Amino acid sequence: DAGVTQSPTHLIKTRGQQVTLRCSPKSGHDTVSWYQQALGQGPQFIFQYYEEEERQRGNFPDRFSGHQFPNYSSELNVNALLLGDSALYLCASRVQGSTEAFFGQGTRLTVV
Amino acid sequence: GENVEQHPSTLSVQEGDSAVIKCTYSDSASNYFPWYKQELGKRPQLIIDIRSNVGEKKDQRIAVTLNKTAKHFSLHITETQPEDSAVYFCAANNDYKLSFGAGTTVTVRA
């Protein structure tokens, strides 16, 4: 079992551009959440997907959007990138109804 | 929404001593409290968790306590070892959404 996998591991984008990050959940998991972790801070909840729908959303602007595919994998899209979007983006997966979440290794996004 | 505060932000201990990290939460509906360990450049890893119907849980050198009335929970690491050096995050789960503390950087001095 490969666990939760994310791609790419590192990414550099220019302010104003758009980015797509990808996540494959742990085998048997059907719910995916995305978190933003700024340097020196704890992860902040962005949103959660289950059955291909956004179920919950944190305090992030509409520039942040996502998608879940039938195989439970997920994408995070960020439009009109700002310098402040530079962070480690973490994906976490779990089984619906279970509280135990497993994290991927993250995608380090740098906006210049 | 849920607000989790974590103290201290940094903690330096001598190898073999104990380390204690404390967290408070604001939403009484939170019912699950995991602790994650994050080494530099690596993913957060779940090290122990506790549910709201339990007051204490222990796993080898790690223990967690929960006081629902006071809305605080703590992580205790005994007999610390150099490999315990990392950033530790507490979190509170409310409606399957995790709210994290700001983290504690633990350094174990040899």
> SS in 3 state form for chain B?
CCCEEEECCEEEEECCCCEEEEEEECCCCCCEEEEEEECCCCCCEEEEEEECCCCEEEECCEEEEEECCCCEEEEEECCCCHHHCEEEEEEEEECCEEEECCCEEEEEEC
Residue B89 has a pLDDT of 98
Query: What angle (nearest 5°) sits at the alpha carbon of residue A64, between those of residues A59 and A66?
Result: 115
Q: Is the pLDDT reported for residue B1 higher than 90? A: no
Look at residue A71 in the predicted model and tell me its pLDDT: 95
* CB nearest to B42's CB, from A33, A45, A105: A105
Q: Which two tokens stand for residue A98?
A: 């279970």
Chain-chain contact of A90 with B44 (C-beta, under 8 angstroms): yes
Q: What are the start-end ranges of the E strands in A1-106?
A: 5-7, 10-13, 19-24, 31-37, 44-50, 53-57, 64-68, 74-78, 87-94, 102-103
Closest Cβ opposite residue B103 in set A33, A42, A105: A42
Specify the DSSP class assigned to residue A69.
Answer: -
Residues A43, B44: C-beta atoms closer than 8 Å? yes
For residue A107, which of A37, A49, A42, A46 has the smallest C-alpha distance? A37
Q: Is A25 on the interface with B (CB under 8 A)?
A: no
Answer whether B66 touches A (CB < 8 Å). no
- Specify the residue for token string 């619906």: A96
Residue of A nearest to B92 (CA): A99
**Mean of all residue pLDDT scores within chain B:** 95
pLDDT at site B39: 94
Q: Residue B41: is its pLDDT beyond 80?
A: yes
Set of chain A residues whose Cβ sits within 8 Å of the Cβ of B31: 99
The answer to whether the Cβ–Cβ distance between A103 and B43 falls below 8 Å is yes
A104: nearest CA partner in chain B: B43
What's the whole-number mean pLDDT along residues A62-76?
97
Size of interface A-B (CB pairs under 8 A): 58
Burial class (CB in 10 A: 0-12, 13-18, 19+), A71: exposed
pLDDT of residue A96: 87
Question: Distance from A89 to chain B by nearest Cα, in Å?
Answer: 10
Which two structure tokens, joined as six digits, stand for A60?
Answer: 């992030």
Going by pLDDT thresholds of 50, 70 and 90, the confidence category of residue A74 is very high
* Residue B20 CB coordination number (10 Å): 16
Q: B62 is written with which tokens?
A: 């790690």
* Cβ pair B36:A103 closer than 8 A: yes
pLDDT in tens, B2-19: 899 999 999 999 999 999
For the ranges A67-76, A86-95, B38-47, which has the lowest average pLDDT? B38-47
Is the Cβ pair B99, A45 closer than 8 Å?
A: yes
Strand partners, B72: B24, B67
Q: Are strands A87-94 and A107-111 parallel, antiparallel or unpaired?
A: antiparallel
**Lowest-confidence pick of A2-6, B21-25, B79-83:** A2-6
pLDDT > 70 in chain A, percent = 99
Query: Tokens 């409606």 identify what position?
Result: B95
